[in-house]
Structure 1
């Protein structure tokens, strides 16, 4: 017990120290060059943190694009900084982006702004790296939803290798999700009606499952058994549609609510499953 506590304290100290330096040392000869608050657009909200392995790049490094939650109108990339650093320990040969995006409000729609921001980050990244990387979109809650929606519908160039969806709503028409206390905001401010096709309702357009087909990106999903924000029914719906379209996927459940995915032992379980999932994709 004492050894475990000492390890946790040392790890937290390591992460806090890393956050203050332009080069991050994570032990075991793992280090990254860090650039914070890089602007990928003209809005003050369009900033991201970029982590590149501190070694000569091969031009084949894959990129994790990490997208925070917050109900589409709140949250910040800083909420996922520690998780990003723990992922970097497990994937030392990958590039990492932890991004902010333009938040929704009563006068600004979430989509297409937020999916456009993911695209803008990808465009910035291609220019910066001077090659076309394979992408792993990973987000929690609203960020999980945006990861799926972008990959399934907006990724025209098929840059997305995989989606890691953590407690993200996949079907906004699910009766279980309609009890979400901010659902009225979603109905009014999630989708700009100007982008809606005449034959597609806003709820369907905003639901990632609506866009799944046989070419959709492999997906790993992670949902809480007692989540009162995004119910477990979302996992069953997503799993069913992915299976119907023969999309390679895995889904897991953890004990806890909406925010408990990032707590021990749920977070370490998730990282283990992500690593195994990506290895399976590479072998296909």
Structure 2
């Protein structure tokens, strides 16, 4: 009997630990409390996992969702790189839902696109099923994640659920001669896009360039670029702003002091969050 009780006790402890790992409450301040689910699978690949943060305060309001997309040159990186920044955003936006996602990486045996855009779509489908409604989205990414945020919003968002794009040091025009100096450009040319996907007359580089897909109904975009970035040339920001202007798309662009990886260091990170908050308020008033 004692042995049975011991076994039951151990099983209950393991059950509670399992539940605790799957879903946790995160307290980020007086008014910022979230339920967290880690490593939710949204596909069959071990890369297709995401962390989900839902405000603990229950309301009937349909909440908007931040989808956070990491960088890494399309073939490396992990959502853990943006966990701390995601938590900082959650403190400022306690009424929003947050997703911090991984995606399938490009490699010598797997193209980046359209897989990576498809992964964003799969995340939106999971959210729709889980929440019971199709939420408006704010896509935020850095570097390759900034690129994917723009590309998905401008080209792949068939349902037009992307409310805004927050592009942090993301390449916008891969055909820009300045970007051709990117040390991994040969990989971009050969492995970023599946050659079977672009329609006839569209090059793989144009297919993967967000600026080629900007139209008048493209979502508002806020961009953040370093003034001493040796990875993304300053011409990228100028080209993006020019095309957004030409198509009368609401946009803002800000510089920060530093290189490609300095955007989330103080005081750059706080400045960015302030600008995101003001930008989203501007869109709400629109």
| CA distance, structure 1, for counterparts of residue 23 and residue 101 of structure 2 | 19
Residue aligning to 2:250: 248
Q: Alpha-carbon deviation of 1:29?
A: 3.0
Residue aligning to 2:26: 24
Map 1:55-94; keep pairs closer than 5 Å.
Answer: 55-94=57-96
| CA distance, structure 2, for counterparts of residue 193 and residue 23 of structure 1 | 44
CA-to-partner distance for each residue in 1:83-123, whole Å, 9 max, x for gaps? 00000000000000000000000110000100000000000
Query: Contact 2:23–2:38 at 8 Å: present in 1 too?
Result: no
* TM value normalised by structure 2: 0.91
| CA distance, structure 1, for counterparts of residue 88 and residue 104 of structure 2 | 26
Q: Does residue 275 of the first structure (1) align with residue 277 of the second (2)?
A: yes
Q: Alpha-carbon deviation of 1:57?
A: 3.4
Structure 2 portions without partners, runs of 5+: 1-20
| CA distance, structure 1, for counterparts of residue 279 and residue 185 of structure 2 | 32
Q: Does residue 212 of the first structure (1) align with residue 220 of the second (2)?
A: no
Query: Contact 1:59–1:131 at 8 Å: present in 2 too?
Result: no
| CA distance, structure 1, for counterparts of residue 30 and residue 154 of structure 2 | 37
Structure 1 portions without partners, runs of 5+: 1-18
CA-to-partner distance for each residue in 1:144-173, whole Å, 9 max, x for gaps? 000000000000110100000000000001
| CA distance, structure 2, for counterparts of residue 257 and residue 29 of structure 1 | 34
Residue aligning to 1:143: 145
CA-to-partner distance for each residue in 1:223-279, whole Å, 9 max, x for gaps? 001101111111100000000000000000001000000000000000000000000
1:152 aligned residue (147, 151, 154): 154
Map 1:196-235; keep pairs closer than 5 Å.
Answer: 196-235=198-237
Name the SS for the 2:225 alignment partner: strand
| CA distance, structure 2, for counterparts of residue 247 and residue 173 of structure 1 | 21
* TM value normalised by structure 1: 0.92
| CA distance, structure 2, for counterparts of residue 246 and residue 269 of structure 1 | 25
Residue aligning to 2:56: 54
Map 1:74-153; keep pairs closer than 5 Å.
Answer: 74-153=76-155
1:174 aligned residue (173, 176, 179): 176
Residue aligning to 2:10: none
Residue aligning to 1:258: 260
| CA distance, structure 1, for counterparts of residue 174 and residue 94 of structure 2 | 36
Q: Alpha-carbon deviation of 1:27?
A: 1.1
| CA distance, structure 1, for counterparts of residue 181 and residue 224 of structure 2 | 20
How many residue pairs end up in the alignment? Answer: 266
| CA distance, structure 1, for counterparts of residue 43 and residue 61 of structure 2 | 25
Name the SS for the 2:263 alignment partner: helix
Q: Which has the larger radius of gyration?
A: 2
Query: Contact 2:221–2:250 at 8 Å: present in 1 too?
Result: yes
Q: Alpha-carbon deviation of 1:21?
A: 7.7
